Amino acid sequence: MSDRRERLARLDRLMGRLKEHGLRMTPQRAAILRALVMDPNHPSVETLHRRLVADYPNMSLATVYKTMNLLKELGEVRELEFSSRDNRFDGFIPQPHPHLICTRCGRIIDPDVPELKDLIENLVHATGFDVQSHRLDFYGLCPSCLKKD
């Protein structure tokens, strides 16, 4: 269960997924996959690209974007969306609280989540983080959209 072995297995899997979709394994793609798989953190496209140009001086930012989008479409990678595009506001409750968001109609409700307080306490205990805030969004279909199926 060496970390390195795990990462290489993951690399294999990613290469396999691309191949099984008839996509070509180019040197650039191989390098991007390697960089992704070897990254211990949660890199941005920018970060990956910065590292890649060291070895591949004319690696294009567009190529990194395209490859990451492929992986996203294959469900092999999850994008953590930060900051600002078409943002919405909580006008009433500035304190952080969970949201329940309907992916069909866009409705957002503020559910009660009584378990939250304990959950955060446990998290603080287990990790040593000082948790100060959060962003908790649950996605799904609201009752009225469910009826329309």
Q: Which residues bind its own copies (CB under 8 A)?
A: 10, 36-37, 39, 41-47, 68, 75-96, 99-100, 102-103, 107-109, 111-113, 115-116, 118-120, 122-123, 126-143, 146
Token output for 127:
């990790």
Nearest-angstrom CA–CA distance, 16 and 9: 10
Among 61, 101, 102, 141, binds DNA (CB under 7 A): 61
Type of residue numbered 78: R
Site for DNA in 85-104 (CB under 7 A): 85-87
The verdict on 12 binding DNA (CB under 7 A) reads no
We find the least distance from the C-beta atom of residue 19 to its own copies, in angstroms, to be: 18
We find the least distance from the C-beta atom of residue 82 to DNA, in angstroms, to be: 8
Nearest-angstrom CA–CA distance, 110 and 94: 12
Nearest-angstrom CA–CA distance, 93 and 79: 27
Nearest-angstrom CA–CA distance, 134 and 120: 10
